[in-house]
């Protein structure tokens, strides 16, 4: 895995016990700043099912735990339903150690759910494949245009949510690629309007 620049990584974190909670982390890693942001979700097959969500942020450092071993990645994440700048109390904390290749390791975390803190210690971290939704047969990935307005761009910029900003930038790039098609369709629409107005 490339561990330079800006990259996305997805982890599954769980203890090797049947019925244990499963933490999924979708993270965007900014290596020049050594910062991390993303989303955490925790599920557990209990009745009623546990479903916890939080936006997460934090940082990482590199540590050499043994002079003869390679460096390890030390993660420290916090999270809440909102952003790091909000006044909402944090509901998630994680401390973890990953191998130098960012692919596996161990972590301990705690989360606030149904009026109580829950702790999971020494869980196994494994890299998970990225999730890409399957397009429906005969359809385009985005069946209808998604307009980008100044409000969405401004809100994304002030949120400091890097994952959201990158997603919005990707949507904007896709719309810009369609500029010629939209312009041609608009000309056809104006021609049809003129033809129909000429009848009256």
Between CA 160 and CA 37 the distance in angstroms is 9
3-state secondary structure of 14: strand
Q: Can you give the C-alpha Rg of the chain in angstroms?
A: 22
- Residue labelled with tokens 């030390």: 74
Phi, psi at 157, each rounded to 5°:
-65, -40
Contacts (Cβ under 8 Å, ≥6 apart) of 100? 3, 62, 70, 71, 72, 73
- Is-contact 58 78, C-beta < 8 A? yes
Amino acid 179: pLDDT: 72
Residues in the chain: 200
Would you say 38 and 26 are in contact if contact means Cβ atoms under 8 Å apart? yes
Give the tokens for residue 147: 């307009």
CB neighbours of residue 21 within 10 Å: 21
Distance CA 117, CA 33 (A): 31
Contact 110, 120 (CB under 8 A): yes
Question: Pairing relation of β-strands 22-30 and 72-80?
Answer: unpaired
Nearest-angstrom CA–CA distance, 110 and 186: 54
pLDDT in tens for each of the 200 residues of the chain? 545 678 999 999 999 888 899 999 999 999 999 999 999 999 998 888 889 999 999 999 998 777 777 789 999 999 999 888 777 889 999 999 999 889 999 999 999 999 999 999 999 999 988 776 565 555 555 544 545 445 555 566 666 777 777 776 777 777 777 778 777 877 888 888 888 888 76
Q: What is the predicted pLDDT for the residue at 150?
A: 52
Question: Beta-carbon neighbour count of residue 20 at 10 Å?
Answer: 14
pTM, to two decimals: 0.64
């Amino acid at each position: 895995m490339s561990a330079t620049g800006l990259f996305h990584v997805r982890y599954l974190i769980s203890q090797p016990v049947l019925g244990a909670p499963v933490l999924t982390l979708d993270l965007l890693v900014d290596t020049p700043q050594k910062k991390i942001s993303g989303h955490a979700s925790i599920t557990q097959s209990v009745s009623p099912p546990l479903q916890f969500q939080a936006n997460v942020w934090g940082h990482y450092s590199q540590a050499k735990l043994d002079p003869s071993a390679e460096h390890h990645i030390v993660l420290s994440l916090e999270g809440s339903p909102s952003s790091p700048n909000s006044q909402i109390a944090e509901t998630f904390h994680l401390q973890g150690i990953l191998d130098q290749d960012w692919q596996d390791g161990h972590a301990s975390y705690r989360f606030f759910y149904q009026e109580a803190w829950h702790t999971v210690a020494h869980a196994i971290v494994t890299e998970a494949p990225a999730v890409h939704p399957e397009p429906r047969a005969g359809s385009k990935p985005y069946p209808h245009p998604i307009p980008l307005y100044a409000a969405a761009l401004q809100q994304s910029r002030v949120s400091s949510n890097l994952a959201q900003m990158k997603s919005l930038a990707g949507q904007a790039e896709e719309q810009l690629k369609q500029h010629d098609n939209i312009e041609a369709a608009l000309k056809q629409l104006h021609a049809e309007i003129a033809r129909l107005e000429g009848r009256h």
